[in-house]
Chains A and B, each alone.
Chain A
Amino acid sequence: MSAVLKQEGVHAPSKPGSVRKDRKRALYWSYFFLILFVIFFLLPPVYMLITSLKSSAEIGAVTNPWFVYKPTLENYTALLSSEQYLTFFKNSAIVSVVVVIVTMLISIPAAFALARMKFWGSTALGMGVFLTYLIPETLLFIPLFKIFAWVQDLTGIEMMNHYWVLMVIYPTLTVPFCTWIMIGYFASIPKELDEAALIDGAGYLQMLTKIFIPVALPGIIAATIFAFTVSWADFLYPMAFTTSADQLVLPAGIVTILIRGDVYAWGQIMAACLLGALPPLLIYAFLMDYYIAGLTAGATKG
């Protein structure tokens, strides 16, 4: 050992156990920052939960914001017995489910064609699909509004103040990103699978339905979760395109109905938001592994 150490140009090895100490230190710091982030991101929902369990009187008394002295479920019971709130929930559910179906019906074949079928312009088209996702909805809602108004004037079809219009608009948000996820996922499937399927006699549609969709299911689930979350939680488009109470979806409905003039029904607002967050929360809770796998699958195989 000492002979090795004395050899010129050879540095002495680190003390035994020092790598373990470095690792421990890195772990402590990681946990420290992770705890900070968890506290930072969980504080608002915790605050919402606490506020939702307070009566209007307790909220008005401006007591300790982090403690409920007289917990009550009156906010929840008021909402769940409110026909309006249930209508918002129903509208959101219908819109989200339909948007997910429409998105999948467009994104899956589009991604398959762009990932697998080489045709003139496919690369540019794939890039274009992704670039449309980069345009924020805050820039798009006014031109979209004008387009819908023009279509309404031209055809007489009522394009305003109907929640089904959101089923036409939301795919402009969901299709680009879902197609992009799916392109990555389909591209990671070995090309030999296509060739084996071609030799076995499968056409492109059979290849898609019998091979690609089953194999790419985690990616499809990830895209579904994304599409559902976006269409469930979007706020701007419903505010712009729907006004009547029976046409509103949850995000717009909560702020429209539960804020009257300058009177904020905070308890009900918080309860409404928490109840509204439940469906995406449940979906994530059960399908989180698929979501992560779907988003990262293409990263290593390219």
Chain B
Amino acid sequence: MAQVTLRNLVKHYDATPAVRGIDLDIADKEFVVLVGPSGCGKTTTLRMIAGLEDITGGEIRIGEHVMNDVPPKDRDIAMVFQNYALYPHMSVHENMSFGLRLKKTPKDEIARRVDNAARILGLAELLDRKPKQLSGGQRQRVAMGRAIVRDPKVFLFDEPLSNLDAKLRVQMRTEIKKVHQQVRTTTVYVTHDQVEAMTLADRVVVMNAGQIEQVGTPHELYHRPATRFVAAFIGSPAMNLLACGLEQSAGGMLLRLSEKLALPVPQERTERYRSHVGKPGLICGLRPEHIFEQRPHREPGQEPFEVVPEVVEPMGNETLVFFGVSGVDMCARVNPDCGPRVGAPLKLVADLRHLHLIDDSSGNVV
């Protein structure tokens, strides 16, 4: 069994805390992605799991064993680095077999493992080449091959796609997913790209300032973010966040977005929000796909309003419309056929069934 357990993991660089107490349980064979902005502690956490950084406090277990003071080579892990870290003077075959040769693995076993990994990653034709003769994507596959041949308990990926161009990144993402499906090894993957996180992970760990903001499946994080940070971080374009207020009127509860714009809160939400009526410091979160053009049929909870577009970005399959509300830029995703134009009033609908109300004092979603 290769579950990874982090208990109150802490890392300080002199007086500066980089990781402030992480508790995380990663199941055997699970693909977990640590995602967050630069400096959030995700790479530090990964490096502590690998044994490349000392632990200031807390505990790391791989399987049943505490790994705090165990050197990297004895942790039964394999790591794929951002800049590949291939040995430049060795061929692809030698790079992949280096660890096995150090362990004095029999030659036939080395050949079997290297051939297997090369087959999985499409490297069979490249085994005699040196890293400088390979493209970026090929080098990254060799780095993955070097990890696979070790047959480790845990794979660790440290932003492996950051050095690749956008198109190659998409291609390699799919390759990594396929490899995980074939090899089925516990994987901890670090990235700052939330699209990578959402597409690859069984579960995503969103980190910020050395702490975990939320852990959940991509679906949970997208549709039920727990904090303002997660709500804003996950999703592209980002969620619209606008200061708002809740008012109780004779007709029901109103969500006040500006002096002129107040929309009725869906009935099923009123009980949950009742204690926040009149409270200051509330933020309305609504994803761009939940603001769209008026359609023939309107569901309960979908409320119309009018805007004047400031920027229109045709994407082909949809058009992004940017408009201002109370001085805040907001984004809507509309059907291109509705023909939005800059400066021309446009009728939109806000689907408040997908509203996220955030209490700014705590940063949590209500």
Interface residues of A (CB under 8 A from B): 190, 192-193, 195-202, 206, 210-211, 214-215, 217
Contact = CB atoms under 8 A, between A and B. Distances in A.
Contacts of A214: 89
Interface string B57-88: 00000000000000111000111011101111
Given A195-B52, A195-B79, A196-B79, A201 B102 contact: yes
Contacts of B86: 196
B81 A195 contact: yes
A210 B86 CA distance: 13
A192 B85 CA distance: 5
A200 B73 contact: yes
A198 B71 CA distance: 8
B117 interface: no
Contact of A199 (B72, B82, B87, B103): B72
B110 interface: no
B98 interface: yes
Given A195-B79, A202-B73, 12 more contacts: A195-B81, A196-B81, A196-B85, A196-B87, A196-B146, A198-B73, A199-B52, A200-B98, A200-B99, A201-B103, A214-B89, A215-B87
Given A195-B52, A196-B79, A206-B102, A201 B85 contact: no
Contacts of B50: 195, 199
A81 to B, nearest CB: 46
Nearest to A196: B85
13 contacts: A192-B82, A195-B79, A195-B81, A196-B85, A198-B52, A198-B71, A199-B50, A199-B77, A199-B78, A200-B99, A200-B102, A202-B102, A206-B102
Contacts of A202: 73, 102
A199 B73 contact: yes
Contact of A190 (B85, B146, B150): B85
Contacts of A206: 102
A260 to B, nearest CB: 54
A211 B87 CA distance: 7
Contacts of A217: 89
Interface centre among A198, A200, A211, A214 (most CB of B within 10 A): A200
Nearest to A201: B73
A196 B144 CA distance: 12
Interface in B143-188: 146, 150
A196 B50 CA distance: 11
The range of chain B's interface size is 20 to 34
Nearest 3 interchain pairs by C-beta: A200-B99, A192-B85, A201-B73
Nearest to A199: B72
A183 B78 CA distance: 29
Nearest to B158: A192
A196 B131 CA distance: 15
A192 B81 contact: yes
B99 A201 contact: yes
A192 B72 contact: no
A123 to B, nearest CB: 16
Nearest to B156: A199
A100 to B, nearest CB: 22
A198 B72 CA distance: 6
Contact of A193 (B79, B85, B146): B85
Contacts of B102: 200-202, 206
Interface centre among B51, B73, B103, B150 (most CB of A within 10 A): B73
Nearest to A198: B72
A215 B73 contact: no
B85 A215 contact: no
Contacts of B99: 199-201
Nearest to B152: A199
Nearest to A200: B99
A202 B83 CA distance: 20
Contacts of A195: 50, 52, 72, 79, 81, 85
A198 B77 CA distance: 11
A215 B102 CA distance: 18
B188 to A, nearest CB: 14
Interface string B215-239: 0000000000000000000000000
A147 B71 CA distance: 45
A199 to B, nearest CB: 5
A272 B47 CA distance: 61
Contacts of B79: 195-196, 199
A195 B86 CA distance: 11
A211 B79 CA distance: 18
A214 B90 CA distance: 9
A86 to B, nearest CB: 40
B149 to A, nearest CB: 10
Contacts of B78: 199
A193 B73 contact: no
A200 to B, nearest CB: 4
